[in-house]
Chain A
Amino acid sequence: MSMILNYLPLFILAVLVGFFIITSVILSGFIGPKNPNTTKSSPYECGIIPEDTARKKFPIKFYPVAMLFVVFDVELVFIYPWAVVFNKLGVSGYVEMVIFILILLVGYLYILKRGGFEWEKRNF
């Protein structure tokens, strides 16, 4: 029971946050002045003017780019906390990270040689 009591402040905070979000959204809907125009109602108020619906077919070439990005991005997610505790981990931590990066390096070389980074060459 005492375990659960320890979380009471967190619970109160969560309730307060939820309350604040909901009330501010509803209140601003009621109180705020409304002067809509086309630019304001567009999905992106600033930037490039949208031309067409987004729900259409994309060339599949974009998807591998996203996938490759995720792979190497996740690598960074692992390396960052490793770097923070580098001294505590000692030699074994270093060796493990080297193995991990080597495996990813194999993947990188593989993608490079199979033409994964060359936009024109791809024919999926």
Chain B
Amino acid sequence: MFIYLFMPVFISVLTGLIVLLYDALMINVRKWHLLFISLAGIVISILYSAILWKLPFSFMNGMFVSDNFSIIFSVLFLLSSAIVLLISYPYLNDNNLNFGEYYALILFATAGMIFMASTLNLIVIYLGLELLTLPLVILTCFKKGRDFSHEAAIKFFILSVFSSSFFLFGIAFMFGATGTVNIAQVVMALSTHKGISFPYMLISVGLLILGLGFKISIVPFHIWTPDVYHGAPTPITAFMSTGAKLAGFAALIRILFYIFPAIHSSLTEVFIVLSVITMTLGNIVAISQKNIKRMLAYSSIAHSGYVLMVLTVFSPATVAAAIFYLIVYIIANLGAFGIVLTLRQKDKEYLDITHFSGLAGKNPFLAGFMAVFMFSLAGIPPTAGFMGKFYLFNVAVNNGFTILVIVGLINTVIAAYYYLRIVYLMYMKKETENVPSTISPFVKIPLIILGIATVFFGVFPSSIVALFKTTLFLTLKL
């Protein structure tokens, strides 16, 4: 039985190895074979995850668990990797970067994400974190010979090693305080000798939040985000801002869910403060950005802040709202990066915000989809972004965090300025510079799917949220 449990992660690693060897050993490698093998592996992996749905299982005392929570996240990781692979294919060809290594590293990183989402053991979460971070560092400087991306990779590497060491330190404190690294047993262990170990427990949770906060770029730990997002190749930026961020949230929600009952009174204020400064700073700094990748980087910081808003309290509604918001966010973000990717000619990219001026007249397809994704990120009604924010704020109000919701609403208004500026430039301005665009079916098909999903989740959100509410929470408590 337990071998089926590992299938999603096992198949992603195996596919990565196959792609790596296929590119290295075969004489005449057709590049689309690499893409095809990787996508086939991802599809099989998703199917295996689907088989495991509603069959909660725990292996070796929670070292590896498979419940609905982990399956939803695994499927999301795999889907976002698949879309990233698709949209990066023409980019890789134009930049002469189309090697098996690229696909393999993305698949290994996906395996790391799945590990992070499907374990109760802090050490395994740490291993998953490392397995995710190291490929990302290599992918950040995958485009060799650009000083900018080398700088980004070194920054990313040093800072992520630093934050991982904080995370490890947190695990050590956790073990010292409770004698276990299994988060499901922490609360029980704590209740037996509460007086002595409680302060150490608080230190531990603080360090764990710091380590994961780096990954999901919440504000005091966000400094790396704009530089790394800017320096990395654009598809990798898309990957980092969706899959990697989602993995951080998966681990954070899992840890907080189990630890919260023990220390919730001490944590609530921390999360209120983190949420407020994260969304405010992200949104205000995003206004002044001239580069679209930097703008989206700050916008992704702000979105982390919105999700943190509901992590102040745990109930089925909270987790469902948080996950729905994350899904909405990754759909819109992948779409936005997909469109940023199309504004280029061969290896020259056009990344200024002003390069979007007059896009609607030249290419209504791209402009229309960009508008949909920008509306979704800003939270404007027919799109999914509105429903995501609606559920989020609704949950926060129901739990009595009205002030937090007011701050969130003010932030939404601030955010609307820089999202709608793109729409304004596309539709109302004349073209200032001749910006070419390259659209291939590899980008077009994912864009259409993402656009339809954005509108679909905006119109019919209740079924999926209800699904999360009913299935997710019960099985999380193994």
Asked if residues B25 and A106 are in contact (CB atoms below 8 Å), the reply is no
Q: How many residues of A contact B (CB 8 A)?
A: 6
CB nearest to B100 among chain A residues: A110
- Is A109 interfacial (CB-CB < 8 Å)? yes
Distance in angstroms from A123 CB to nearest chain B CB is: 11
- Is A60 interfacial (CB-CB < 8 Å)? no
Distance in angstroms from A119 CB to nearest chain B CB is: 19
- Is A67 interfacial (CB-CB < 8 Å)? no
- Is B20 interfacial (CB-CB < 8 Å)? yes
CB nearest to A110 among chain B residues: B24
> Interface on chain B toward A: helix, strand, loop, or mixed SS?
helix
Distance in angstroms from A82 CB to nearest chain B CB is: 19
Distance in angstroms from B460 CB to nearest chain A CB is: 44
CB nearest to B10 among chain A residues: A99
Give the distance in Å from the alpha carbon of A110 to the alpha carbon of B21 in the complex: 6
Residues in A10-52 with C-beta less than 8 Å from chain B: none
Give the distance in Å from the alpha carbon of A103 to the alpha carbon of B17 in the complex: 8
Give the distance in Å from the alpha carbon of A113 to the alpha carbon of B23 in the complex: 10
Distance in angstroms from B179 CB to nearest chain A CB is: 14
- Chain A residues with CB under 8 A of B17: 103, 106
Distance in angstroms from B427 CB to nearest chain A CB is: 48
Give the distance in Å from the alpha carbon of A58 to the alpha carbon of B133 in the complex: 29
- Chain A residues with CB under 8 A of B21: 106, 109-110
Give the distance in Å from the alpha carbon of A38 to the alpha carbon of B21 in the complex: 54
Give the distance in Å from the alpha carbon of A103 to the alpha carbon of B21 in the complex: 11
Give the distance in Å from the alpha carbon of A49 to the alpha carbon of B25 in the complex: 45
Distance in angstroms from B24 CB to nearest chain A CB is: 4
- Is A122 interfacial (CB-CB < 8 Å)? no
Residues in A74-113 with C-beta less than 8 Å from chain B: 103, 106, 109-110, 113
Distance in angstroms from A102 CB to nearest chain B CB is: 9
- Is A61 interfacial (CB-CB < 8 Å)? no
- Chain B residues with CB under 8 A of A103: 17
Distance in angstroms from A122 CB to nearest chain B CB is: 14
- Chain B residues with CB under 8 A of A114: 24
Distance in angstroms from B266 CB to nearest chain A CB is: 32
Give the distance in Å from the alpha carbon of A103 to the alpha carbon of B14 in the complex: 9
Give the distance in Å from the alpha carbon of A103 to the alpha carbon of B104 in the complex: 13
Residues in B1-57 with C-beta less than 8 Å from chain A: 17, 20-21, 24-25
- Chain B residues with CB under 8 A of A109: 21, 24-25
CB nearest to B104 among chain A residues: A110
Supplied contacts A103-B17, A109-B24, 7 more A-B pairs, CB within 8 Å: A106-B17, A106-B21, A109-B25, A110-B20, A110-B21, A110-B24, A113-B25
10 smallest beta-carbon distances between A and B, as pairs: A113-B24, A106-B17, A110-B24, A110-B20, A113-B25, A106-B21, A114-B24, A109-B21, A110-B21, A106-B20
